[in-house]
Amino acid sequence: MGLVDKNLSLRNRNKMLIGVWEDEDALLSATQAVVDKGVHIHDVFTPYPVHGLDRIIGVKRSRLARIAFFCGLTGLSLMFTMIWYMYVKDWPVNVGNKPVRFSPSWIPVMFEGTILCTAFGMGIFFFLRNRMLHGIKNDLLDERQTDDRMIMTIETCEGMDEKGLIDLMKEKGAVETREFHQGVQTVI
Amino acid sequence: MIHDSLIRERLVTGDKTAADVTRDISRPILNQPSSAWKIGFTLSLIFLGIFGVSLFWTVWTGIGVWNINKSVMWGWDITNFVFWVGIGHAGTLISAVLLLFRQKWRMSINRSAEAMTIFAVVCAAMFPVFHMGRVWVGYWALPLPNAFGSLWVNFNSPLLWDVFAISTYFSVSLLFWYIGMIPDIATIRDKVKTKTAKFWYNFFSMGWTGSTRSWARYELVSLILAGISTPLVLSVHTIVSADFATSVIPGWHTTIFPPYFVAGAIFSGFGMVATLLVVARKVMNYENYITIGHLEAMTKIIMVTGTLVGIAYLTEFFIAWYSVVEYEQYAFINRATGPYWWAYWSMMSCNLIAPQVFWFKWARTTPWFIFIMSIVVNVGMWFERFVIIVTSLHRDYLPSSWVMYSGSLTEVGLFLGTFGIFFTCFFLFAKFLPVINMSEVKTILRNRE
Is pLDDT above 80 for A2? no
Q: Is B144 on the interface with A (CB under 8 A)?
A: no
CA-closest candidate to residue A27, choices A61, A60, A57: A57
For residue B339, is it within any domain? Answer: yes
CA-closest candidate to residue B413, choices B122, B88, B76, B128: B76
Closest residue in chain B to residue A90, using alpha carbons only: B150
CA distance A95 to chain B (A): 10
For residue B242, is it within any domain? Answer: yes
Residues A70 and A119 placed together within one structural domain of the fold:
yes
User: What is each CA distance from B432 to B56, B172, B428, in whole angstroms?
Assistant: 29, 22, 6
Residues A52 and A142 placed together within one structural domain of the fold:
yes
For residue B3, is it within any domain? Answer: no
CA-closest candidate to residue B346, choices B380, B303, B306, B309: B380
For residue A91, is it within any domain? Answer: yes
Closest residue in chain B to residue A84, using alpha carbons only: B155
Ramachandran angles phi, psi of B333, nearest 5°: -65, -40
Q: Is B165 on the interface with A (CB under 8 A)?
A: yes
Among A28, A61, A84, A130, which would you mutate to test the B interface (most chain B Cβ atoms within 10 Å of its Cβ)?
A: A130
For residue B147, is it within any domain? Answer: no
Containing structural domain, residue B388:
18-135+152-444
Instruction: Check B155 against A129: CB less than 8 A apart.
Output: no
For residue B84, is it within any domain? Answer: yes
Instruction: Check A133 against B190: CB less than 8 A apart.
Output: no
For residue A1, is it within any domain? Answer: no
Residues A53 and A146 placed together within one structural domain of the fold:
yes
CB B436, CB B286: distance < 8 Å: yes
CB A114, CB A83: distance < 8 Å: no
CB B12, CB B433: distance < 8 Å: no
Find the mean pLDDT for residues B214-239.
91
Q: Which pLDDT belongs to residue B391? A: 92
ipTM: 0.93
Residues A52 and A69 placed together within one structural domain of the fold:
no
Closest residue in chain B to residue A140, using alpha carbons only: B209
Q: What is the CATH number of the domain that holds B171?
A: 1.20.1630.10
Q: What is the CATH number of the domain that holds A32?
A: 3.30.70
CA-closest candidate to residue A23, choices A58, A5, A50, A62: A50
CB B153, CB A79: distance < 8 Å: no
CA distance A38 to chain B (A): 19
Residues A26 and A70 placed together within one structural domain of the fold:
no
pLDDT category, B4, cuts 50, 70, 90? low
Instruction: Check A48 against B216: CB less than 8 A apart.
Output: no
pLDDT category, B310, cuts 50, 70, 90? very high
Q: What is the pLDDT of residues B326-365, one digit of tens each?
A: 999 999 999 999 899 999 999 999 999 999 999 999 999 9
Using a CB-CB distance cutoff of 8 angstroms, which residues of chain A are in contact with residue B212? 43-46, 50, 53-54, 57, 59
Name the domain boundary from A129, A156, A173: A129
DSSP characters for A55-119?
HHTTPPPP-HHHHHHHHHHHHHHHHHHHHIIIIIII----STT--SS--GGGHHHHHHHHHHHHH
Q: What is the pLDDT of residues B49-104, one digit of tens each?
A: 999 999 999 999 988 899 888 889 898 999 999 999 999 887 888 888 888 888 88
Q: What is the pLDDT of residues B408-447, one digit of tens each?
A: 999 999 999 999 999 999 999 999 999 999 898 888 887 6
Q: What is the pLDDT of residues B403-415, one digit of tens each?
A: 999 889 999 999 9
Residues A79 and A91 placed together within one structural domain of the fold:
yes
Q: Is B447 on the interface with A (CB under 8 A)?
A: no
Amino acid in the structure at residue B231:
P
Containing structural domain, residue A13:
6-60+138-187
What is the DSSP pairing of strand A43-45 with strand A16-21? unpaired
Amino acid in the structure at residue B2:
I
For residue B6, is it within any domain? Answer: no
Nearest-CB residue to A62 (from B151, B176, B216): B216
Name the domain boundary from A85, A110, A129: A129
Is pLDDT above 60 for B22? yes
Q: What is the pLDDT of residues B365-404, one digit of tens each?
A: 999 999 999 999 999 999 999 999 999 999 988 889 899 9
For residue A148, is it within any domain? Answer: yes
Q: Which pLDDT belongs to residue B447? A: 67
Residues A74 and A123 placed together within one structural domain of the fold:
yes
Residues A155 and A104 placed together within one structural domain of the fold:
no
Amino acid in the structure at residue B410:
T
**Burial, B269: exposed, middle or buried (Cβ in 10 Å; 0-12, 13-18, 19+)?**
buried
Q: What is the pTM (predicted TM-score) of this model?
A: 0.92
Name the domain boundary from A129, A150, A168: A129
DSSP-based three-state secondary structure for A150:
strand
CB B108, CB B293: distance < 8 Å: no
pLDDT category, B448, cuts 50, 70, 90? low
CA-closest candidate to residue B293, choices B277, B276, B269: B277
Q: Which pLDDT belongs to residue A174? A: 82
Nearest-CB residue to B209 (from A90, A139, A144): A139
How many structural domains are present in chain A?
2
Q: Is B206 on the interface with A (CB under 8 A)?
A: yes
Residues A68 and A110 placed together within one structural domain of the fold:
yes
For residue B363, is it within any domain? Answer: yes
Higher-pLDDT residue of A53 and A136 is: A53
How many structural domains are present in chain B?
1
Using a CB-CB distance cutoff of 8 angstroms, which residues of chain A are in contact with residue B203? 134-135
Helical pair B212-245 and A64-83, crossing angle rounded to 10 deg: 30
